[in-house]
Chain A
Amino acid sequence: MSNAITMVEAVNLALHSEMRRDQSVMVLGEDVGVNGGVFRATVGLRDEFGMKRVMDTPLAETMIAGLSVGMATQGLKPVAEIQFMGFIFPTMEHLIGHAARMRHRTRGRLSCPLVVRVPYGGGIHAPEHHSESTEALFAHIPGLRVVIPSSPARAYGLLLAAIRNPDPVLFMEPKRVYRLNAQPVEDSGETLPLDTCYTLREGSDITLVSWGAMIKETLEAADRLAQQGVSCEVIDVVTLNPIDHNTILASVDKTGRCVIVHEAPKSGAVGAEIAATIAEKGLLSLQAPVARVTGYDTVMPYYRMEHHYMPSTADILEAVNTTLEFS
């Protein structure tokens, strides 16, 4: 049996595994080589695969993304690391203006099978700009997959899938749970499916929808509710673009109630897209308004006050109770 490993170790395992299997996979980014990444996600790669395949780049995110576009069109599979989500914005010109539409605008002549990995989210007492959740900015972009694992096993299988995927993928790693809840992960080389939600727990009274680190609080809430006799179905959305709405709609059709939980600010976020789709296609199955438990529409506070921003298990319980009591 394999040893229990953390999410960041699972990312590392997937990178090793796929680089052994596929010579065209390259890793590039700031501090990813000798240092093994500031979170150690790329530790050991440089020793095993050498500096031609594991590149410590100059400090320039625009360059990292632009290079990746160039490499990807030529048959390489770059897996770029952006050190923190707060520093991803310079990549947008290349990811949005080029990677996400290369296949489309060349009518399939060229493609961009690249992965950008990026740690994101709050709760680790980091300095400013190191704790935001800006997935919605990318999930809005046609042609760009946005994938977020919530456990070591899914990080492994989804990262393999992201690397093998023929189109660009933004792979966002919830760093708050990087080292929480180790679990056995076998280096099977097997991918997990993208573009599908994962039902983590089946239930009949209410559907809880979340992704990333907030899955932890969502499952905690589901546990507590189970003790009170409330049966929650918990859905991990995983791929935020394109979203597998069918799984969510089928669940809401069964439970009639839904609470969406995310760390990002409320307005214009992915939760809004999910709620809107339920309103469009599942209105008649609803027995209560869809509720959202989210961060606030404000700048992520510096670490001293960040817990005031982060949605808590108690917030989820409150929203669930309100939703259940609605009549």
Chain B
Amino acid sequence: MDTVFHGEIHLRRYLSDQGKPEQVLPDWTHSPERLVRYYRNMVLVRQLDYKIIALQRTGQIGTYASLLGSEAIDTVVGDLMAADDVLVPYYRNHALQMLRGLPIEDVLCYWGGDERGSAAAALGDDFPNAVPIATQSLHAAGVASAFKVRGEKRVAVTLCGDGATSKGDFLEALNVAGAWQLPVVFVVNNNQWAISVPRSIQCGAQTLAQKAFGAGIRGEQVDGNDVIALHEAVSEALKHAREGKGATLIEAVSYRLSDHTTADDATRYRASEELKAAWEREPVKRLQTFLHEQGWWDERQEQAWIEEVGQMIQTSVDAYLARPQQPIEHLIDYLYAELPNALEEQRERLIRNAQPGGSRHE
């Protein structure tokens, strides 16, 4: 019998769980700039995450999906994307959206139940985050098709969770990306859990990266807590796509260090030892150790930076809390390019009910 297909999935990893180099590091890591930039951003978004959870607990923000454990993935992808690439994110990508220009205040707005959180002009052609799982994968393929049709050297980048890889949309997106050789990068944040469903029962395959084989695109696994490995994998995938060679699926192996959302209680279904073990591998500490050992970051810088981001975050929180409510008619006015006549009566009613004496006046 002839072997008609042969495939291998490699796991890319440079830093051990303890932040020690496991192999020769790429040249760009020989100077501190980029790695320190990555680190600072990861600290910023983690501090923000703690703050948002505190706001949620005191009723100042709604149900929130924590980013704990995905700091490295979002930071590296956001840093490497070109400004005119297009990001097609999911709901756990606010750290990445921030690198694309989303102000912290708007992140708070979004999770605070306010549509203006997706409106920032700075986001350019980027999509708002997708809540219906895996739908964004197909949109990214469509964005990439637009680039290809117009002969642009831009890349669509989309992220999803491990659970999302079970959905038809995800597999359909891989398939068309392979069939049409689309300039798209699919990053799976495999944080091991889809709410209460562990990776092991989500899919029978050993890796999620191998789903690339069925679609005829590149696929690899990367340690999602290792910024150096992520950097290498994502840069290559972007380059490959930009050169017209097609799509890549990157399975970034991470761990959801939080509950699924603030509405979830992971102790119902997840062993505390597993979570504890995951904290031993977490991305921020790992890079911090590495930087310490290189002499590129010390305790004094750490304290100064934490203080600085603390102030930055607080300024945004204050602005968020002080932001006046959006005009009531905006609940209707953005539905169509022009308000259809048929909606005028309802629009007036909406406004009237919100006024003093109206049925929805608070």
With a CB–CB cut-off of 8 A, which chain B residues contact A308? Answer: 328, 331, 350, 353-354, 360
Would you mind naming 5 contact pairs between A and B with Cβ atoms under 8 Å apart? A31-B197, A58-B166, A129-B131, A299-B335, A314-B359
Q: How near does chain A come to B270, taking the closest CB pair, in angstroms?
A: 9
Query: A298-B335, A307-B360, A315-B359 known; A127 and B131 CB under 8 Å?
Result: yes
Cβ 8 A contact of A298, one of B111, B332, B360: B332
A293 to B281, CA, bound (A): 55
Of residues 61 through 92 on chain A, the ones whose CB sits less than 8 Å from some CB of chain B are 61-63, 86-87, 89-90
B113 at the interface (CB under 8 A from A): yes
A137 at the interface (CB under 8 A from B): no
Asked if residues B167 and A60 are in contact (CB atoms below 8 Å), the reply is: yes
Asked if residues B331 and A90 are in contact (CB atoms below 8 Å), the reply is: no
Of residues 231 through 288 on chain B, the ones whose CB sits less than 8 Å from some CB of chain A are 263-264, 268-269
Q: Using CB atoms, name the residue of chain A closest to B333.
A: A298
A126 at the interface (CB under 8 A from B): yes
Known: A56-B197, A125-B113. 14 other contacts (CB 8 A): A30-B195, A30-B197, A35-B195, A38-B195, A58-B163, A59-B134, A62-B168, A86-B132, A87-B133, A90-B167, A125-B63, A305-B325, A308-B328, A308-B360
Of residues 285 through 327 on chain A, the ones whose CB sits less than 8 Å from some CB of chain B are 296-299, 301-309, 312, 314-315, 318
By secondary structure, the A interface counts as loop
A98 at the interface (CB under 8 A from B): no
Asked if residues A266 and B346 are in contact (CB atoms below 8 Å), the reply is: yes
Query: A34-B196, A308-B331 known; A59 and B133 CB under 8 Å?
Result: yes
A190 at the interface (CB under 8 A from B): no
Asked if residues B114 and A59 are in contact (CB atoms below 8 Å), the reply is: no
B-to-A contact residues, CB < 8 Å: 62-63, 91, 111-115, 131-134, 163-164, 166-168, 194-197, 201-203, 263-264, 268-269, 325-326, 328, 331-332, 335, 342-343, 346, 349-350, 353-354, 359-360, 362
A315 to B350, CA, bound (A): 11
Q: How near does chain A come to B341, taking the closest CB pair, in angstroms?
A: 12
0 or 1 for each of A253-293: is its CB under 8 Å from B? (1 = yes): 00000000000001100000000000000000000000000
A128 at the interface (CB under 8 A from B): yes
Q: How near does chain A come to B57, taking the closest CB pair, in angstroms?
A: 14
With a CB–CB cut-off of 8 A, which chain B residues contact A303? Answer: 62, 113
Q: How near does chain B come to A46, taking the closest CB pair, in angstroms?
A: 11
Asked if residues A35 and B269 are in contact (CB atoms below 8 Å), the reply is: yes
Asked if residues A318 and B359 are in contact (CB atoms below 8 Å), the reply is: yes
Asked if residues B62 and A125 are in contact (CB atoms below 8 Å), the reply is: yes
With a CB–CB cut-off of 8 A, which chain B residues contact A62? Answer: 167-168
Query: A31-B195, A38-B195, A297-B346 known; A128 and B131 CB under 8 Å?
Result: yes
Q: How near does chain B come to A317, taking the closest CB pair, in angstroms?
A: 9
Asked if residues B63 and A31 are in contact (CB atoms below 8 Å), the reply is: no
Q: Which 6 pairs of residues, A with B, have the shortest CB-CB distance? A: A35-B196, A303-B113, A304-B113, A314-B359, A58-B166, A59-B163
A306 to B349, CA, bound (A): 15
Asked if residues A297 and B168 are in contact (CB atoms below 8 Å), the reply is: no
With a CB–CB cut-off of 8 A, which chain A residues contact B343? Answer: 297-298
With a CB–CB cut-off of 8 A, which chain B residues contact A35? Answer: 195-196, 268-269
Q: How near does chain A come to B96, taking the closest CB pair, in angstroms?
A: 18
Of residues 112 through 136 on chain A, the ones whose CB sits less than 8 Å from some CB of chain B are 125-130
Q: Using CB atoms, name the residue of chain B closest to A305.
A: B331
Asked if residues B166 and A31 are in contact (CB atoms below 8 Å), the reply is: no
With a CB–CB cut-off of 8 A, which chain B residues contact A30? Answer: 194-195, 197
A298 to B203, CA, bound (A): 38
